[in-house]
Amino acid sequence: MIKILSILPLMGLIVLLNGCKSEDITPKFQNNSRVIIDKAKSIDFAQRNVNNEGSITITGKSDKIFQTAKIKFHSSLSGVSTDWLTLAIDPKTNEFKGKYSLKAGGYYPQIQLFNDNKLYTDTLLSWNVKVGEVLAVIGHSLVEGQKPYTIENFDPTWCDIIVWQYDGAINNYWGRLAEKLKVKLNVPIRIYNTGIGGSSSEQWGLSAYGLPFQHPFFDWKLRYPYSLFENRLLNEISKTGLRGILVAHGENDGLLSENNIVESTKMYIQKTRDLLDAPQLTFSIAKSNTGGTSEPILKVKSAQKRIVAEIKNTTLGADLETLIGEKYRWDGIHFNSFGLEQAAIRWDESLPISYFSQTIPYTPK
């Protein structure tokens, strides 16, 4: 979950940054003026492109009049610190704004505001910006998560986990995966946990195109569940960029035919690529089911193999089908605490460094 941090004057953040790789900064000036970042208008996380860079946007204002403004980015997790850069200003609203290309890494911005060519405020923000890897999730309750089982053992400073904004939404095990990827790649990680409990591959596929189906709580006329994912895709992910999508369906697909599973998956993959105009966007398909050799399970396993073989730009995701039994799943389906940790390990294993160098990310136009 993203933590909203208050803005601190420069001296108040020195302790926070001790031990980080950013340089030691001593302020020349300090007073009671405030620098306020408009987080709704700023883009604080960007998917890195093939050149290991990404664009972030800073928007904010001050409670005092200023005539010019500058910004500098101090690297803390890999990255490359910048020189002083110009912020555009609107004198009528006391707002400033800038868009900047940064090397992959995590940064703390420092902002200086001037009046009559005199520096009157010099503030290093506790709010940070990140250029790294962005992933999203498609699946049912196994990936959405079930209370009280969740893992919070990860670095929230450089690992962003975005969940649905409703009561009951949890991090699940994605924070642990983000932590493992952060350590492996040495860049910040953001994961959108956009799994939706109770859903199947068929409902995701049909709802992507507004086609009818029967379900006790998904309204096909509203294109649920896919439209919920689509809204986040268009309103947030389209601005940050995206490396790929992690898919874990299967436990709810046992009553579907093999062809239905494959074709439904093709539908929501195609819809997602069309919405972003990203035909090469990678989908990682987990081996996800409750295990065993019954006919419904074998059908799901076969379908998942076919998806990777038949749909372009798909890769094999985590092997979750061997995490079965009470050791891993508290009710035979959903992971307990030990199962969550193992699922994070399996996803990490399915995303080697070569995945990030060989796949083509979606970056905003």
Residue ranges and CATH numbers for the domains of the chain are 10-127 (2.60.40), 132-358 (3.40.50.1110)
Tell me which of 164 and 20 has the higher pLDDT.
164
Residues 6+ positions from 350 with CB-CB distance below 8 Å: 284, 286, 315, 316, 317, 318, 319
The stretch 85-106 carries a mean pLDDT of 94
So what's the pLDDT on residue 238?
Answer: 97
Q: Are 314 and 280 in contact (CB under 8 A)?
A: no
Range 232-237, long-range pairs (CB < 8 A, 24+ positions): 232/136, 232/192, 232/194, 233/136, 233/272, 233/275, 233/276, 234/275, 236/162, 236/192, 237/134, 237/136, 237/192, 237/276
Per residue in 314-357, pLDDT tens? Answer: 999 999 999 999 999 999 999 999 999 999 999 999 999 999 99
So what's the pLDDT on residue 3?
Answer: 35
The distance between the two most distant Cα atoms of the chain, rounded to a whole number of Å, is 78
Residue 285 has pLDDT above 70, yes or no: yes
Tell me the whole-structure pTM to 2 decimals: 0.90
Phi, psi of 337 (to 5 degrees): -60, -45
- The one-letter code for the residue type at 20 is C
Residue 13 has pLDDT above 60, yes or no: no
Residue 282 has pLDDT above 80, yes or no: yes
Tell me which of 324 and 168 has the higher pLDDT.
324
CA 257 – CA 264 distance, rounded (Å): 11
Residue 6 has pLDDT above 70, yes or no: no
Residue 24 has pLDDT above 80, yes or no: no
If you average pLDDT over every residue of the chain, what do you get?
90
So what's the pLDDT on residue 27?
Answer: 43
Residue 279 has pLDDT above 80, yes or no: yes
Q: Are 189 and 132 in contact (CB under 8 A)?
A: yes
Cis check: omega of the bond before 148, within 30 degrees of 0: yes
The stretch 120-134 carries a mean pLDDT of 94
Q: Are 113 and 66 in contact (CB under 8 A)?
A: yes
Tell me which of 29 and 267 has the higher pLDDT.
267
How is residue 243 annotated by DSSP?
A: S
So what's the pLDDT on residue 176?
Answer: 97
